């Protein structure tokens, strides 16, 4: 708890036992706390421990806080298991939807809840969080709403159903998103192509597609799209299966874009021969000479110590 004079303005607690947090959450509605941050144990995936469980009392307490405190702006839950009755979960969803939250972060939370998104939300994180089909649809609906304020979306380590990934991609041009993180989300070439067709119409400035098993086919498509997406300044494609053709095409994009990029991260991609690595480095050198700056990060997975970075 961080005090300001005699008034607590935000809450930050590492969950040691449920009883302590139940008492803490029960006091929230009578406070002026606007930010609630709860963090579970780091090793939750190796334990079956009540310390990571969000009980009915805790979830109801958070609902009352969202319903009572105006404006509650931030809710961040890290490494938790929702174990509450359906009625409790439904109330929490309604409280979320009608809240004034601008930041909602759910990291490594196990649940099957239908997360409802408030119209005020600007930053949404569902990293490594299991979500229901309805939650996926709610995300798509928020992106497709021209009045949505959502600017950043983190779906890393979040395997979305293929049909909803396509819908998400189609909704991007309507959205106000400037930052999208899809790292470790099994995007692969099909997902990359879904993004290729819409990227030039988006407002995206940063896109993270790291570790998604994207191969040359998807990489070549992304190179074409990045070239004609003027707002896009930072792209991460590290840890994919990109070979020499797509790596060359992507580096070449940096040299010929009208609007300069700040970073194109190509580290740890497919194993390249030494000749291929040198050829790409020569292309990078020409880019740096032309632009007077270094904005491409390259490392062969066979030579992880050989890299050039911004």
Q: Do domains 1-131 and 139-153+168-310 have the same CATH topology?
A: yes
CATH topology for 139-153+168-310? 3.80.10
- Do 199 and 225 form a contact (C-beta atoms < 8 A)? yes
Say what the pLDDT of residue 293 is: 57
The residues spanned by each domain of the chain are: 1-131, 139-153+168-310
* DSSP symbols for 7-67: EEEEEEEE-S-HHHHHHHHHHGGGS---EEEEE--TTGGG---GGGEE-HHHHHHHHHHHH
pLDDT digit string (tens) for 227-264? 999 999 999 999 999 998 999 899 888 888 888 888 89
Structural tokens at position 63: 């609902």
Residue with tokens 């400037």: 178
Say what the pLDDT of residue 294 is: 56
Distances (CA, A) of 279 to 40, 282, 283: 47, 5, 6
128: left (phi over 0), alpha (psi -120 to 50) or beta: left
User: Rounded CA gap, 100 and 272, in Å?
Assistant: 50
pLDDT digit string (tens) for 163-212? 888 999 999 999 999 999 999 999 999 999 999 999 999 999 999 999 99
Closest to 222 in 3D by CA, of 120, 210, 62, 149: 210
Closest to 253 in 3D by CA, of 289, 295, 218: 295
- Do 212 and 184 form a contact (C-beta atoms < 8 A)? yes
- Do 280 and 264 form a contact (C-beta atoms < 8 A)? no
What stretches in the chain show pLDDT beneath 70? Answer: 1-18, 42-51, 112, 271-273, 286-294, 298-310
DSSP E strands in the chain: the ranges are 2-4, 7-14, 35-39, 53-54, 74-78, 81-82, 103-107, 123-125, 152-154, 179-181, 206-208, 234-236, 263-269, 296-300, 303-308
Which residues lie below 8 Å from residue 171, measured CB to CB, with a gap of 6+?
140, 143, 144
Per this entry, what is the length of the chain? 310
CATH topology for 1-131? 3.80.10
Say what the pLDDT of residue 19 is: 74
104: three-class secondary structure by DSSP: strand
């Amino acid at each position: 708890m961080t005090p300001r004079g005699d008034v607590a303005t935000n809450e930050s607690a590492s969950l040691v036992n449920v009883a302590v947090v139940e008492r803490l959450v029960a006091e929230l509605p009578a406070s002026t706390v606007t930010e609630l941050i709860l963090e579970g144990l780091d090793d939750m995936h190796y334990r079956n421990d009540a310390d990571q469980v969000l009980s009915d009392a805790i979830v109801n307490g958070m609902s009352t806080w969202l319903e009572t405190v105006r404006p509650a702006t931030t809710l961040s839950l890290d490494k938790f298991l929702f174990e509450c009755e359906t009625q409790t979960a439904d109330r929490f969803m309604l409280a979320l939807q009608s809240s004034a939250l601008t930041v909602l972060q759910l990291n490594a939370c196990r649940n099957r809840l239908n997360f409802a998104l408030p119209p005020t939300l600007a930053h949404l994180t569902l990293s490594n969080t299991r979500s229901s089909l309805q939650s996926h649809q709610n995300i798509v609906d928020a992106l497709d709403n021209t009045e949505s304020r959502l600017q950043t979306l983190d779906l890393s380590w979040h395997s979305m159903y293929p049909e909803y990934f396509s819908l998400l991609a189609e909704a991007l041009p309507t959205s106000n998103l400037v930052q999208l993180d899809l790292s470790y989300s099994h995007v692969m070439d099909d997902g990359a192509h879904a993004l290729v067709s819409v990227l030039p119409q988006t407002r995206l400035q940063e896109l993270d597609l790291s570790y998604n098993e994207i191969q040359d086919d998807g990489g070549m498509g992304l190179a074409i799209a990045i070239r004609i997406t003027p707002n896009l300044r930072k792209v991460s494609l590290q840890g994919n299966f990109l070979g020499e053709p797509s790596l060359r095409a992507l580096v070449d994009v940096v040299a010929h874009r009208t609007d300069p990029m700040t970073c194109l991260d190509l580290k740890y991609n497919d194993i390249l021969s030494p000749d291929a690595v040198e050829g790409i480095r020569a292309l990078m050198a020409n880019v740096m000479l032309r632009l007077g700056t270094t904005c491409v990060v390259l490392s062969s997975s066979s030579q992880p110590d050989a890299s050039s970075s911004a």
